[in-house]
Amino acid sequence: DTEVTQTPKHLVMGMTNKKSLKCEQHMGHRAMYWYKQKAKKPPELMFVYSYEKLSINESVPSRFSPECPNSSLLNLHLHALQPEDSALYLCASSLFSGGAAGELFFGEGSRLTVL
Amino acid sequence: GENVEQHPSTLSVQEGDSAVIKCTYSDSASNYFPWYKQELGKRPQLIIDIRSNVGEKKDQRIAVTLNKTAKHFSLHITETQPEDSAVYFCAASKGGGADGLTFGKGTHLIIQP
């Protein structure tokens, strides 16, 4: 299994809603990532989890809250988002972070629209 | 921090011709350089990568070259096909780690039939 699975594929939410994005991988990877991608732009790193611990937080607003319940799962909890947060949210994983981690495997993404 | 410049932003080539995309990086400590292909509405996928201990790597129609002295690396696609149409991103990181990847802004490659 070389897949990173993300749900939901599409999400529309109001600025007062609370929702969560979910990501799952069963490749035994110990590093998992959240990226944000706006149209026609490169992916921007948001968070890195290494061995289920948050290792990098790229100054992301607190309305985004990551969670790594176990080595296979990664969640992104969303609350009080702004319309400018509308984007494709990509989950990714790699064997481990740092060193010769090799390939970054991306999920298909969750397309978020904030009204 | 690392800064990766990518050119051109759009590249249109005739089917069967070659395409070259160029990137420069700023941090001489960077030592891992992957290339990702992203088709419209799909996820980025690694197509080739190179580490700083080699100057060139080839995989069928795709090759990457690295010039550490000049701090630039290039993607070469030969005998282009319609399915090569996509956005291509270069990236760089230190320690070979995926967590330190800095992406270029992307090149939209268009293959003209």
Q: Is A56 on the interface with B (CB under 8 A)?
A: yes
Report chain B residues whose CB lies below 8 A from the CB of A58.
Answer: none
pLDDT in tens, A39-87: 989 999 899 998 999 987 888 999 999 999 999 999 999 999 999 999 9
Please, which pLDDT band fits residue A100 given cuts at 50, 70 and 90? low
- A103–B89 CB contact, under 8 Å: no
Report the chain B residue with the minimal C-alpha distance to residue A95: B98
Report the chain B residue with the minimal C-alpha distance to residue A50: B99
Share of chain A above pLDDT 70, in %: 94
Q: Is B98 on the interface with A (CB under 8 A)?
A: yes
Predicted pLDDT of residue B101: 84
Predicted pLDDT of residue A99: 58
- A31–B98 CB contact, under 8 Å: yes
What are the φ and ψ backbone dihedral angles of B22, each rounded to 5 degrees? -120, 145
Chain B, 63 to 82: residues with Cβ < 8 Å from chain A are none
Tokens 């080699």, located at residue: B54
Q: Where are the beta strands (DSSP E) in chain A?
A: 4-7, 10-13, 18-25, 31-37, 44-50, 53-57, 64-70, 73-79, 87-94, 105-106, 110-114
Residue of A32, A55, A104 to mutate when probing chain B, most B C-beta within 10 A:
A104
Q: How far apart are CA B4 and CA B46, in angstroms?
A: 17
Tell me the three state secondary structure of residue B83.
helix
What are the φ and ψ backbone dihedral angles of A41, each rounded to 5 degrees? -125, 160
Bridge partners of B14?
B112
Q: How far apart are CA B4 and CA B99, in angstroms?
A: 15
- B99–A50 CB contact, under 8 Å: yes
* pLDDT tens by residue, chain B, 113 residues: 789 999 999 999 999 999 999 999 999 988 889 999 999 989 999 999 998 888 999 999 999 999 999 999 999 999 999 999 999 999 998 765 556 788 999 999 999 99
Instruction: With a cut of 70, say whether residue A101 has pLDDT above it.
Output: no
Nearest CB neighbour to A104, from listed B42, B46, B106: B46
Across chain A, which distance is largest between two alpha carbons, in Å?
42
- Sheet containing A18-25: give its strands across: A4-7, A18-25, A73-79, A64-70
DSSP A103: P
Tokens of B78: 């030969």
Q: How far apart are CA B110 and CA A29, in angstroms?
A: 34
DSSP A40: T
Nearest CB neighbour to B98, from listed A94, A108, A109: A94
Tell me the three state secondary structure of residue A11.
strand
Q: Is A27 on the interface with B (CB under 8 A)?
A: no
Share of chain A above pLDDT 90, in %: 72
Tokens of A83: 């319309």
Q: How close B54 gets to chain A, by Cα (Å)?
A: 15
Question: Across residues A84-92, what is the average pLDDT?
Answer: 96
